[in-house]
Structure 1
Amino acid sequence: MALPTAQPAEVLRAWQKDDSYEKQLAESLARLMPSHIASKAVPLSSILYKSFTTLKDLQTLGEEYSGIVQVDETYHKLPSFSARLLSILLSCVGENLTRRLLRHAEKSVENNSTLRSDAQNAFILILKAINTMLPQIESIHRALSYINGGPLQIGKTIAGIDYVHVRPAAAAYYAHLRLLGIVTLLHAFISCGQSLYQAKKHMDQLRDIPADVDSSKSCVACLEEMAQPCVLPCGHVFCMNCSYGPLESCALCRTPFTKNSVVPLMNYYPGTL
């Protein structure tokens, strides 16, 4: 007979315990590591903790405390080694890897000369919006776990890992978790909506630039009056704050540039030529 599926309260309790142990391990590692690499203690502690437990087909301390065990999608067998390894990698470096891939995609779009500028702007804004919504996507997954059960980490869901009880469990907090899941879900959807609204608003501003902005007197990047104009290697002119600030590629032709290649224009006043 198959073991009962783990309830959300027990999964949450196990995750909280494991998170606490990982933080303690990270603090100990940070004291042993040189200061310039101490920030690596958090992902390293997570990898070590999961490698000596989950990867070896053992319960974590949190899972043992809650009386739950990881199983595959059949609920009859322990997860395969590849599934456990995939879940660990996604849990430890999945978000950072996703952000790197999104930034790489942005750079590829910026350097793609075959795309029209409006299409480039649209793709870049979509990628930036997805990057901004990554924490909300994680919150949505966690909220669904509170409501329907299942692992809290997206990596375990992708790897096809779930939990079952191996001893009687207390279900006193399940109703509270359902309410918490609904509130978390609503908050995450509102945050995603705000990110999409800001992206659409920025896209509308870029679309209206040719009609509303006199590029001879205003900076196309910040839409403000040109102050201390600078010319980029591609020949386009922007204000100094944008040229030496957030811009990494020309906002008009998407040509990448370095800050030391920006040339300030002395005694030049936009609109006089």
Structure 2
Amino acid sequence: MAAAAGPARLVRCGQKDELYRAGLRNGAGTALRGLAGARPWLEWRREVELLSDVAYFVLTTLSGYQTLGEEYVNIIQVDPSKKKVPSFLRRALFISLHTVLPYCLEKALMHLEHELQVEAEESRAPENPPALGFPSRTFARSWIRRWAGELTEQQKKTASQVVYVLKQSIPLLHRLHLAVFYIQGTFYHLSKRITGISYLHFGGLQGEDQSIRSSYKFLGIISLFHLLLTIGVQVYSFKQKQRARQEWRLHRSLAHQK
């Protein structure tokens, strides 16, 4: 007999997988630091963590096996039909969304924000030498630098605002997804929600999660209220900063006139 896995099992599965992934990342980082030294490890630490996560899911999910967390709680992945395991393409898409996409998005936003700040500093003080930033060792980084240099001042301001909004919105999106998971109890990871991968539980007591599902729903409602409060505080803070900036510009213009 099989039944839909409850939120308690999914949380335990995610925590167990994260524990083993952290151990794999630490082991790979220790090996790199021992072979190449501390400086290369600091420079390539994020890439080593990405390769460790990809290797973990390739050896388990992509190869058609359960992860260690799934074995721990005795659950198995199924596609939206709930009758068969996800296809190879669906599993590969999940791994890309779960590991590669967050890395690429984080790096792109970080380097774009850096290049926009460098461009703004150079436009304010063109006589000063350019600030030292990230070493340009990738094509993507060089392309971002060239693209940022071709933008107008207004476009740079708009791009900076977009980067700021994205950096603030991504954690809020994850919190919203987690609150929805607490209420519905189906998709613990956002990548699984996008790909439609859910879980079935085999063996044991099929209704053991029903007794605590109401507690998870209550936790989800509290999380939603807390998220709305956080968004309200951030919007208020943003408006206060905008008002202070406008008042400072007005004060500066009046001072120049005097």
TM-score, normalised with respect to structure 1: 0.67
Equivalence for 1:234? none
CA RMSD across the alignment: 3.1
Once the two structures are superposed, residues 156-195 of structure 1 have per-residue CA deviations (whole angstroms, 9 ceiling, x without a partner) of 2112211122223421432322222222222233223333
Q: Which residue of 1 aligns with 2:234?
A: 195
**Matched residue pairs, number?**
215
Taking a change above 3 Å as real, the CA distance of residues 122 and 199 of structure 1, as seen in their structure-2 partners, is farther
Deviation per residue, 1:114-170 (Å, 9 max, x gap): x8x4x8645632431221231221111112111102222111211221112222342
Question: 2:41 matched to which residue of 1?
Answer: 37
Matched residue, 1:46:
53
Q: Determine the C-alpha separation between the residues in 1 that align with 2:53 and 2:9.
A: 20
Does the residue aligned with 2:84 lie in a helix, a strand or coil?
Answer: coil
> Secondary structure of the residue that 1:173 maps to in structure 2?
helix
Higher relative contact order (CA 8 A, sep 6+): 2
Which residue number corresponds to residue 133 of structure 2?
none
Q: CA deviation at 1:16?
A: 0.8
Equivalence for 2:27: 28
- 1:68-147 map, 5 Å: 68-102=75-109, 107=116, 111-113=150-152, 117=154, 121=157, 124-147=160-183
Aligned to 1:240: none
- Secondary structure (helix, strand or coil) at the match of 1:52 reads helix
Structure having the higher helix fraction is 2
Distance in 2 (CA, whole Å) between partners of 1:162 and 1:190 is 30
Return the alpha-carbon distance in structure 1 between the equivalents of residues 156 and 246 of structure 2: 12
Hey, what does 1:156 align to over in structure 2?
192
CA contact (8 A) 1:137 1:188 kept: no
Which letter maps to 1:159? T
- Asked if 1:4 corresponds to 2:3, the answer is yes
- 4+ aligned runs moved over 6 Å, structure 1: none
Give 1:199-238 correspondences, 5 Å limit: 199-207=238-246, 210-214=249-253
Q: CA deviation at 1:109?
A: 7.7
Unaligned 5+ runs, structure 2: 117-146
Q: CA deviation at 1:7?
A: 1.0
CA deviations on 1:227-264 (whole Å, 9 max, x unpaired) are xxxxxxxxxxxxxxxxxxxxxxxxxxxxxxxxxxxxxx
Identity in percent: 27
